[in-house]
Amino acid sequence: MKIRMLPVALTAALSLILLLGGWFLYRQTAIERPIEKMLSQYPGVTSAQVDITQKQAVLKLDLQSDVDLRGMIAQLRKEEGALLKTRSIKLDIADHSTPEIDELWKQASFSVAEAMANKRYTMIPSTLSKIESENGNYTISSDMDDHYVYVALSSASDKKANKYIILPLAAAPGTGGQSNA
């Protein structure tokens, strides 16, 4: 019996296309789309794009100035916890910063880094509120959960100007955390 190569090659190629296409379709409809829908409906989220890999979930977000990041991540972990249990979450937030907001973060960053390094997280809100009181036209807030410290800087006069910094609590030594602004 002689094996004909053309039908075998076509069958293998068609099987591969169906398997990969099925996986792509499953990933889009059953995994990524529900997360995108939840994030897009969260108050203050302008747009959300999700990319799920085997080890991490990358969330590309465009946020307004009044978003509760900790609450958003908590809701995401609650609603999609089974899916995200084995994956780390990486936030990629669109930058809407201004030079003034960057300068405020520059003033705060050393004190925040020191508090993070010494695990004295209660120093962060007091440092930020002091800088906020000195610069009345800006709002600076912080929040924390089991995984991250969230810092939000925004302008009171320009509702589109904001900067979000997400610092992991378990950062590798010498990395200084992850800036997502």
Residues forming beta bridges with residue 150, ordered by sequence position = 143, 166
pTM for the model: 0.76
3 state SS of 79: helix
The token pair that represents 180 in the structure block: 């997502």
Please indicate whether residue 62 or residue 174 has the higher confidence score (pLDDT): 62
Residues forming beta bridges with residue 91, ordered by sequence position: 59
- Which pLDDT score, from 0 to 100, does residue 6 have? 87
Mean pLDDT of the chain: 85
pLDDT score, position 114: 93
Per-residue pLDDT band for 22 (boundaries 50, 70, 90) equals confident
Q: Rounded to whole angstroms, how far apart are CA atoms 123 and 115?
A: 6
State yes or no: pLDDT of 172 exceeds 70. Answer: no
Cβ proximity of 32 and 52 under 8 Å:
yes
In this prediction, residue 171 carries a pLDDT of 54
Q: Provide the pLDDT for residue 4.
A: 84
**33 CB-near residues (< 8 Å, 6+ apart):** none
For 48-81, the pLDDT digits (tens) are 999 888 888 899 999 988 889 899 988 988 887 7
Percentage, residues of the chain above pLDDT 70: 93
**CATH classification number, 28-93, choose in 3.40.50.2000, 3.30.300.30, 3.30.70.1060, 3.30.70.1450:** 3.30.300.30
